[in-house]
Structure 1
Amino acid sequence: MNLADRLHAAAERLTGRAVITLDEAEITYDGLELMSARVASLLLLRGIGVGDRVAVMLPNVPEFAVVYYGILRIGAVVVPLDPLLKRREIAAYVGDCGARLLIAWHALAETAEAGTSGTGADCFFVVPEEFRRLLRGVESEHEIVQRAGDDTAVIHYTSGTTGRPKGIELTHANLVSNATTVARMHALGVDDVVLGALPLYHAFGQTCSLNATVHAGARLTLLPRFEPGRALEVIRRDGVTVFQGVPTMYIALLDHLGVSDLSLLRLCVSGGAALPLDVLRAYETRFDCLIMEGYGLSETSPSAATNRAGHGRRPGSIGWPIKDVEMRVVDEFGREVPCGHVGEIVIRGPNVMKGYWNNPAATAEAIRDGWFHTGDLGRVDDDGFFFVVGRRRDVIIRGGRTVYPREVEEVLHEHPAVRHAAVVGVPHPELGEEVAAVVVLRAPVEADDLRAFVRERMAAYKYPRHISFADELPLSPTGKILKHAIALPLDATAPPTRRR
């Protein structure tokens, strides 16, 4: 098999139909097939072959798909990198995977060259018109190199900020299986238009937007940078039917003055982080728009569980495991815990990564007895619905009592003045940790009022003693709140601590 086979099959039956658009720019299925075949020829001329790693640092532009499928076509391995990376990060990732080549957007040339200096990797820069002229002068490589299902197709790097970077090896079988399942679950078809607002270098955008769209024969309309007003314009202009996003995108749309009618959308999918229940309910009541919340990690290709329509949906839940995937909630010894009890979510199935690139110790720690240990804490109810309560490393132990940040964040989000909230633990000399919150507001409110609001709705040991306000929270390029990057000014917003 080869993931590029999916494009080839779609191109044969959908000649002339658009697969990717960006404003006025358009690539058809047969056009994408031909251009990627010519990229394959360019790579072969450069001596790139089966198993070689090729790093890709491109924004959400049609050329991403051209390069992506061209690399896969010759049996090489795609290493997608965030276009916002700096020199030192590029050097770490390119050096770790031993990439032969870095294909980067022309505007990133200076940073890309500095990052690859000393790594042994060459650079190739994509300038749209020049790139197309170059491809027109190259004979296409029609053969798609067939690979074993467990051969590596893509290496995604973890977003960790310390220690050695970990490359997540996803195989052709991982990605084909996950894209096929996502397309089937979302009932994607040739009449669908998917909004490509998720970064294509990330597993969520790559599998659920690009690969699932190609598999289904639908169209992907790209948005290089998410901005709510621009997203609404593209949804209306291009007749978008499927919106896949992260919670920060849904919150931004909800707060935008121009949002009034989302009836074009037949499906909204949220992933990447927990969606506040208050936001989910607002979409239902204001726009009659149901959001299907799912769950996964880059290590699971990424989709692992999702809500379904009708009785397969439970607000606040991540739903059930997807087809052929098993999930359990276990204790520290790997034993399954009873329904309703909190433990670590573990996953087994065709979506689970091959391992971490050249890091057998990390692989052995993550995959034990065939189960991938996610590091996420969750519970499952009597009907089989899974709920995530937080990351294991984010749990706050206050005076011996466990506080799950997500639970407190949900209550904060219920306050009409709160736009975003992040709850973290801070050191305390007597209690070990104290509960702190950083809040982004949509309307003025006092810290004491927020404290009282939460205290009325939760046990006394859970409410945040420290409340700080910020204009914005640090976000990853995929919209996740980066709790490790939050600055916590502990000031007069905290009342005197009394042990409870």
Structure 2
Amino acid sequence: MAASLLRFFSRILFRVEVRGLENLPAEDKLLIVANHESFLDGLLLGLFIPKKATFVVHTTVLKNWWFRQFLRLTPHLAVDPASPYAMKKVIKLLESGKNVVIFPEGRITLTGALMKVYDGPGFVAAKTGATILPVRIDGAAQSYFGRLSSHHPRKLHPKVTLTIMPTTSVIVPNASQYNLTTAKQRRRIAGEGMRGVMQKMLFQAQKNRTLFEAFLDAVDEYGSNYKLIEDLNETEETYQDLLKKSLALGKIASKASQPNETVGVLMPNITNTIALILGMSAFNRVPAMLNYTSGTAGMQNACIAANIKTVITSRKFIETAGLGSVVAHFKNLNIVYLEDLRTQFGMLDRAWLMGYALHYPRLAMETNQHDQPAVVLFTSGSEGKPKGVVHSHKSILANIAQIAAVLDFNPTDKMMMVLPVFHSFGFTGSFIALLNGIKINMFPSPLQYKVIPELIYDRGCTIFFATSTFLSNYAKFAHPYDFYKLRLVIAGAEKLNEEVRKTYAEKFGIRILEAYGATECAPGIAINTPMANLNGSVGQLVPGLEHKLALVSGINNGGLLHVKGENVMMGYYLFDAPGVLIPPQTDYGLGWYNTGDIVEIDKEGFVHIRGRVKRFAKVAGEMVSLEVVEQIANTAALGHQHAASSINDAQRGECIILFTTDKQLKREDLQMVAKNLGLPELAVARKIIAIEAIPLLGTGKTDYVTLKQMAESA
């Protein structure tokens, strides 16, 4: 009777929804694990999960009179997670065939994200072979029973969702395979397995929605008056401000385009660009983010590939960026300026916006599906003509959920976004902030090496996404205290230079977290995190991403990485087949994407990049990674930039050429370093060419196409 009353009032107070009941197994001996959002969690699981179970609770919980009353209604076991004997009691319960509920974090989240996962629950699962039933609790942290900081809005009646996920297990580690010699090591590996279960659960429990719907959910969660975004205008705008702009710009864009049309967007990193993207999502248009640093030919080729007929831009931006001559050379494109479209936003449109759409945005938006195209991004063109990469709403949001499952973002954070939104790293990074209540500062160019460190200091930013090249240049001009508040510095898009890693550790006291991705994967494939970091690697694969390593002739260590997951693109738009969607497919089947990278994955799941297949040279019958050639140069000439290319050689197959900014670098220096590192003589560049600066793309990557041309003409 008491349980029925509690269930009734919980449904009224918290609008409790239970999803995934079809995943509930009939058999017992279940280890039910859940993320820990609030003091309500045990009560909610006991009332709404139709399985009789014993709850494992912290001994301190028994000190609270209210919780003692609740625990009188259900079987429970009080344990101290710090005690090495605590889990033995849990093992006995499971071995007797009973169901057990446990919170692997051992404490309520303070960030809204997953906290540290204790090894004990993983060890229990591995030791008993129990079936694990993951349950995602969502919404309870926003109640007054949670422990989030005051920066996170609280609600008296938040909606709470319990999502029951498919059962899984933690495999007992093979001692010989993992070279495990002690019980402590086996326990740690099992604990890592449980952490993986929890992270995958957080990712998989995400509901299907569009980008605009996800934005509206964030407005509901954090509040319309929550200050969110700022650009060079130095005006902080709220969720409400951004929503208003999005609806207005979406309406304006819809007047110049057709539903489902792919429309070019030629805009800088400003608030209006984000609003335009959201507005186009709301009105069922697909923004194609044009790279304005790629020149006339690059943008024209991108427009041809994606079959773009209309490009939306701004006269002010074209004038400021000096792109007038570039736009003038566009062929067969309708260039639409926002300044001109604003005049078409008449009185009826204003009445629609203020009297209806702003109050009922979910009704005002046009119908769209989560598996339909959301954005077209373009590959960097570092190795050829750009390809249009078509991402659905689902794939973008999946990657955001994958990253949020392994990193602890929260509303106390501030992000500095200097990477352009036409770049997948910048696009997804911006939406990570928008959808997680992270205050974001948009800056139009990553090349302002003196200004950006000062802005990070002035705004007190805590999160920063950048490339290794950009980080290196910021470090040259930054004061040691400029980055005092940065806690998450994520480096991606290119290999992190070891000298850059060392500089940030010694000068700023910052551990750079190296990540790895591809535009085709939205972009995150692997990432180091504060809980799982290994220098020299690009971290562990994001949750929910399948992988296979294909053997490559001539390469003994590692294999060609193929991946499949919800974050993988819908397909390509190619220059030779404009507007025709070509889905990803490899020898492993439809939906698999060939990254083109040779990688090794160690026994703990850390990914080590050995180089791109296209960036291997065949010298005297042996495969040589050009990235290893660059590694030797980086060690031999610290503080300088280096890049390797190759040309055909009638005698040796290929000849490796090193471009460097160090005019004093000699081949003998490279040979000495290679010998000290234990690397073969073949990995030493045959020819060295000193240049003033290594050519870069607008995204910060090395421009290997230009380097190849320079090598061939040298």
Residue identity opposite 2:711 in structure 1: L
1:58 to 262, 267, 271: 267
Equivalence for 2:179: none
Q: Does 1:33 align with 2:249?
A: no
In structure 1, distance between residues paired with 2:279 and 2:329: 23
Query: How far did residue 464 of structure 1 move?
Result: 1.3
Secondary structure in structure 2 of the residue aligned to 1:479 = coil
Change beyond 3 A, Cα 1:439–1:259:
farther
Q: TM-score, normalised by structure 1?
A: 0.88
Equivalence for 2:589: 368
Residue identity opposite 2:337 in structure 1: F
In structure 2, distance between residues paired with 1:40 and 1:360: 25
Equivalence for 1:75: 284
1:480 to 701, 708, 713: 701
Change beyond 3 A, Cα 1:14–1:324:
same
Tell whether the 8 Å contact from 1:36 to 1:70 is kept in structure 2 after alignment: yes
Change beyond 3 A, Cα 1:88–1:466:
closer
Query: How far did residue 257 of structure 1 move?
Result: 5.9
In structure 2, distance between residues paired with 1:271 and 1:479: 10
Residue identity opposite 2:675 in structure 1: E
Aligned residues: percent identity? Answer: 21
Residue identity opposite 2:571 in structure 1: G
Secondary structure in structure 2 of the residue aligned to 1:228 = coil
Deviations 1:295-345 (A, max 9, x none): 1111001111111224x1111111111111122321259xxx99x822111
Residue identity opposite 2:267 in structure 1: L
Query: How far did residue 115 of structure 1 move?
Result: 4.9
Tell whether the 8 Å contact from 1:294 to 1:307 is kept in structure 2 after alignment: yes
Equivalence for 1:16: 225
In structure 1, distance between residues paired with 2:288 and 2:211: 15
Tell whether the 8 Å contact from 1:294 to 1:303 is kept in structure 2 after alignment: yes
In structure 2, distance between residues paired with 1:148 and 1:362: 18
Q: Does 1:446 align with 2:446?
A: no
Matches within 5 A, 1:217-228: 217-226=437-446, 227-228=448-449
Change beyond 3 A, Cα 1:261–1:89:
closer
Q: Does 1:431 align with 2:667?
A: no
Secondary structure in structure 2 of the residue aligned to 1:331 = strand
In structure 2, distance between residues paired with 1:166 and 1:105: 24
In structure 2, distance between residues paired with 1:165 and 1:308: 31
In the alignment of these two chains, the number of paired residues is: 479
Residue identity opposite 1:177 in structure 2: A
In structure 2, distance between residues paired with 1:41 and 1:253: 39
Equivalence for 2:501: 280
Matches within 5 A, 1:329-344: 329-332=549-552, 341-344=557-560
Equivalence for 1:211: 431
Equivalence for 1:387: 608
In structure 2, distance between residues paired with 1:112 and 1:294: 34
Secondary structure in structure 2 of the residue aligned to 1:423 = strand
Q: Does 1:235 align with 2:456?
A: yes
Residue identity opposite 1:74 in structure 2: F
1:258 to 479, 484, 487: 479
In structure 1, distance between residues paired with 2:286 and 2:602: 40
Query: How far did residue 3 of structure 1 move?
Result: 0.6
Q: What are structure 1's unaligned runs of at least 5 residues?
A: 492-500
Tell whether the 8 Å contact from 2:586 to 2:592 is kept in structure 1 after alignment: no
Secondary structure in structure 2 of the residue aligned to 1:456 = helix
Deviations 1:241-273 (A, max 9, x none): 001100101111232263455221011101001
Query: How far did residue 93 of structure 1 move?
Result: 2.8
Secondary structure in structure 1 of the residue aligned to 2:655 = strand
Tell whether the 8 Å contact from 1:418 to 1:439 is kept in structure 2 after alignment: no
In structure 1, distance between residues paired with 2:584 and 2:241: 39
Q: TM-score, normalised by structure 2?
A: 0.63
Tell whether the 8 Å contact from 1:183 to 1:213 is kept in structure 2 after alignment: no
Larger Rg: 2
Moved more, 256-265 or 456-465: 256-265
Secondary structure in structure 2 of the residue aligned to 1:488 = helix
Equivalence for 1:328: 548
Equivalence for 1:494: none
In structure 1, distance between residues paired with 2:309 and 2:393: 20
Matches within 5 A, 1:81-100: 81-100=290-309
Query: How far did residue 162 of structure 1 move?
Result: 8.3
Query: How far did residue 126 of structure 1 move?
Result: 4.9
Equivalence for 2:562: 346
